[in-house]
């Protein structure tokens, strides 16, 4: 009996140790409260009883991690670009923390190998990985604090996987991306329509709708029609790809 318990304990202990090592390899920091990280990698598809889903999957940690990520990236950009205005900083932040980028980073960090989800409930959705990355940030924050989460974001994500100079000059041409997507999936025509013109002081602002096959798929507002079209295309792309 004693032998049996010892075997069970050893097995359990070595599993925990292996998991802690994986977290260390990803984050560069030794986890204290391992249960937080286990939760971060537990997708909601594993929850059977919806009444207690809140504590049993990573969605709450994802909620927290999402805003910690945004705060850390904002501070990083604020300090890196002391002479750039708020518009530039906002654009750079959205280039770093958009859904597609987080999914990609989640894969690059190898989170898909640790993630636990119900494989019976359909194919693997890429966004599960991006969500788990946010949940991991939430777990690091709760376990080791704001500076540790910031360290992970800057030194294990941004500095390793992102080329900021490239991002800076990269023009997010959502309109052409959308055009490409629509042609590929045969969902044309795409029409852009100015649905509103407003004045903020002396400055005119346009609200442009992106209409695909007679359905409004995106809205964008800006002082320049072209930028409003880009924003509307971004929203439409997000909808089509989500």
Which one, 113 or 121, has the nearer CB to its own copies?
Answer: 121
Signed CA dihedral, 111, 113, 115, 118: sign only: positive
In eight-state DSSP terms, residue 121 is S
Burial class (CB in 10 A: 0-12, 13-18, 19+), 140: buried
Active site residue 66: yes
Interaction of residue 84 with its own copies, rule CB under 8 A:
yes
Burial class (CB in 10 A: 0-12, 13-18, 19+), 210: buried
Which one, 20 or 154, has the nearer CB to its own copies?
Answer: 154
Burial class (CB in 10 A: 0-12, 13-18, 19+), 60: middle
Task: Count other Cβ atoms within 10 Å, centred on residue 215.
Answer: 10
Binding mask 28-67 for its own copies (x = CB under 8 A): -------------------------xxx---xx-xxx-xx
Among candidate residues 66, 143, 229, 234, the one labeled active-site is 66
Interaction of residue 105 with its own copies, rule CB under 8 A:
no
Are 213 and 188 within 8 A, CB to CB?
yes
Helix, strand or coil, per DSSP, at residue 37: helix
Interaction of residue 189 with its own copies, rule CB under 8 A:
no
Active site residue 222: no
Interaction of residue 225 with its own copies, rule CB under 8 A:
no
Among candidate residues 59, 134, 229, 234, the one labeled active-site is 134
Which one, 189 or 201, has the nearer CB to its own copies?
Answer: 201
Which residues are at the interface with its own copies (CB under 8 A)? 53-55, 59-60, 62-64, 66-68, 70-71, 73-75, 78, 82-86, 89-90, 121-122, 141, 146, 195-196, 198, 200-201, 207, 209, 215-219, 221, 235, 239, 242
């Amino acid at each position: 009996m004693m032998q049996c318990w010892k075997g069970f304990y050893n097995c359990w202990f070595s599993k925990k140790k292996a998991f802690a090592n994986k977290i260390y390899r990803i984050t560069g920091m030794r986890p204290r409260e391992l249960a937080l990280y286990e939760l971060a990698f537990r997708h909601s598809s594993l929850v059977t009883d919806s009444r207690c889903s809140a504590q049993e999957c990573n969605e709450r940690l994802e909620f927290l991690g999402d805003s910690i990520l945004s705060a850390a990236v904002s501070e990083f950009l604020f300090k890196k670009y002391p002479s750039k205005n708020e518009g530039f900083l906002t654009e750079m932040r959205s280039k770093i923390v958009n859904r597609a980028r987080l999914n990609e980073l989640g894969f690059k960090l190898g989170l898909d190998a640790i993630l636990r989800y119900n494989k019976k409930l359909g194919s693997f959705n890429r966004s599960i990985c991006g969500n788990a990355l946010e949940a991991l940030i939430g777990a690091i924050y709760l376990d080791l604090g704001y500076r540790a989460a910031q360290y992970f974001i800057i030194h294990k994500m941004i500095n390793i996987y992102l080329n900021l100079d490239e991002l800076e000059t990269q023009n997010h041409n959502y309109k052409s991306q959308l055009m490409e997507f629509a042609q590929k999936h045969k969902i044309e025509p795409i029409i852009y329509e100015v649905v509103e013109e407003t004045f903020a002081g002396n400055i005119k602002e346009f609200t442009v709708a992106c209409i695909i096959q007679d359905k409004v798929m995106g809205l964008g507002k800006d002082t320049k029609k072209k930028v409003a079209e880009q924003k509307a295309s971004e929203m439409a792309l997000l909808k089509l790809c989500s």
